[in-house]
Structure 1
Amino acid sequence: MNATYYRLEVLRFVRDRVGLFFTVGIPLFMYLVFGAAQSFGKENAGHGNVTFYIMVSMAAYGAVTATTGIGASAATERSLGWGRQLGLTPLKDRTFVSVKVLVALTIAVIPIALIYAAGALTGARADGLAWVLCPLITVAGAAAFALYGLVFGLWLRSESAVSAASGSLVILAFLGNIFIPLEGVLLTIARFTPLYGLVQLSRYPLTEGRVMSGDVLINEGLWIPVANVAAWLTLLAILATWLVRRSRGRQ
């Protein structure tokens, strides 16, 4: 792993104030408005309260926004000629990939850490184990969304890929039962969307599989979010592989 390249990549992201705002500022703002500021946040939700439940959701949204953006930018860099520039250096492809993965993990931690810190100061309550396991699951799951961004970058092959990938997450967050509790047909549809499995697994140490549907919690088997994550991870990996091969064929 090239430490210098890693440091430069992290600094490049941190200096992007607009990108940092959308990755950290918006999820934090939404947590404060829809979680910390609401009177119902003190109500019980599994092994904690509703404020903690919303905090986990917003942290997951911020984390996937970060990793998706990094995946899309990596693909765009390669398609716009940055890969040829790197080819003139001793940097190997596997090093490039490993650095991007580590950068994605590092950046994903930023919104999670800030939102959890805000939660600790604004009434989020849960068992001690949930404070440890929920963010760890979120980081691990969000790393897979670098593939989601990679697919957009390889497909669009332009600088708009990052905006398109990150923008689509807003719609997926609504459909994935992140922003508002869904019920009925909408909840059934949500179970087939990419973000549902990740967020439900992130909440699992808190809810033990119960899902907020409207104003109540309903039981859901662990296999549902696990199957969701596995299916989307497989599909995205297949799409990314196909798009990489197609892009090589055009060169």
Structure 2
Amino acid sequence: MTATTLSPSRTTGRAPGRSPAAIAGYAALDLRRQARDRVQMFFVVGLPAFMFVVFGLGSDEPAGSANVAMYVMVSMAAYGAVTATTGVAGSAAIERTNGWGRQLALTPLRPLSFLAMKTGLAMVVAAVPVTLIYAIGAATGASGTTSDWVLSATIVWAGSALFAVYGLAVCLAFRSDNSVGIASGLIVIMAFLGNVFTPMSGLILDIGRFTPLYGYAALARYPLTDGWTPTGTHDPLWLPVANVLAWTMIFAAVALWGLRRGQERV
């Protein structure tokens, strides 16, 4: 048998571990593993859905072009989505730096390909709480225009990618088995400051506008509220957009720094 026969570049043109089929196969296995993690799925899917039922069910008061039930629905779907992307993407950083990362280093799967695959997986998992909570809302009286439903769901799901980058940044920076818990715990604090759980006002609201979850949640609710908060203040569209862009750059810079620092130690 000659070297030509063994060379993957002479047959498929790429190493086996870099082929789309191999990456898709690994992603499917990892997705099944995520689905079997009952504790994680409770916090990602069950808890936000429960909170919507408790705080949003039957709230028919108007909220912009929708009602309060839909306002709460969007907020809880956003919380579930960011919990999902933070946890899944953050676990990728831990796997990368621990024993599993050394196993992956023996395969042709490149570090950036691995992180990209995990980010994509996080977005798939994030679609679960968004779909479930929107379905519950549609069945229990949440109402709004067609554009409210379509645009808010799209922003909630797509915008949660910011927190995949956040999860990677925190876990690559701390490089500890507890870093996923730290990142998830900070999400709860940011949700309070970001006007996700309860309406803020005054100084707390002014501070909250600079926190990562504020811009994301405000942007998701913008189709409904046109920027008006429950306390009567107004955010121009550029404010949540600038918030999201700024935090995306910050988290991406921290994640790249953490990744390069890890490579320097190898």
TM-score bin, normalised by smaller chain: over 0.9
1:20 is aligned to 2:35: no
Structure showing greater radius of gyration is: 2
Equivalent of residue 105 in structure 2, options 66, 80, 87:
87
Cα displacement (A) at 1:250 = 2.5
Are residue 49 (structure 1) and residue 71 (structure 2) matched? no
1:220 maps to a residue whose letter is D
Query: Is the 2:152–2:220 Cα contact (8 Å) retained in structure 1?
Result: yes
What secondary structure sits across from 2:230 in the alignment?
strand
Aligned to 1:61: 79
* Aligned residue type for 1:26: L
Q: Which runs of 5+ in 2 are unaligned?
A: 1-19
Note the 1:209-248 alignment, pairs <5 A: 209-213=227-231, 217-248=232-263
Query: Where does residue 208 of structure 1 map in the other structure?
Result: 226
The separation in 1 between residues aligned to 2:189 and 2:67, in whole angstroms, is: 26
The residue type equivalent to 2:45 in the other structure is V
Deviation, 1:35, is 0.7
1:94 positional shift:
4.2
1:31 is aligned to 2:52: yes
Letter paired with 1:98: A
Q: Which residue in 2 is equivalent to 1:155?
A: 173
SS of alignment partner, residue 229 of structure 2: strand
User: 1:133: how far off?
Assistant: 0.9
Whole-angstrom distance in 1 between the partners of 2:39 and 2:216: 26
Corresponding residue for 2:9? none
Equivalent-residue separation in structure 1 for 2:224 and 2:43 (angstroms):
27
Deviation at 1:89, TM superposition (A): 2.2
- Residues 25-82 of structure 1 show CA distances to partners (whole Å, capped at 9, x for unaligned) of 1111111101115xxx101111110000000000000000000011210100011032
Gaps of 5+ in 1: none
Whether contact under 8 Å (2:173, 2:254) holds in the other structure is no
- Which residue of the partner structure matches residue 27 of structure 2? 6
For the 8 Å contact 1:80–1:158, the answer to whether it is kept is no
SS at match of 2:219: helix
Count of matched residue positions in the alignment of Structure 1 and Structure 2? 245
CA–CA separation in structure 2 for the residues paired with 1:191 and 1:95 = 34
- Could you tell me which residue of structure 2 aligns to residue 126 of structure 1? 144
CA distance in 2, matches of 1:242, 1:97: 14
Whichever residue aligns with residue 233 of structure 2, its letter is I
Instruction: Tell me the distance in 2 between the aligned counterparts of 1:51 and 1:83.
Output: 44
* Change in 2 beyond 3 A, CA 1:114/1:100: same
Shift of the alpha carbon at 1:248? 2.1
- Provide TM-score, normalisation by structure 1: 0.94
Cα distance in 1 for residues equivalent to 2:104 and 2:77: 33
What CA RMSD, in Å, does the superposition of the two structures yield over aligned residues?
1.3
Please tell me the residue identity of whatever aligns with 1:109: A
Structure 2 residue matching 1:218: 3-state secondary structure: coil
Paired letter, 2:47: I
Give 2:15's aligned residue.
none
1:242–1:98 distance in 2 versus 1, CA, 3 Å: closer
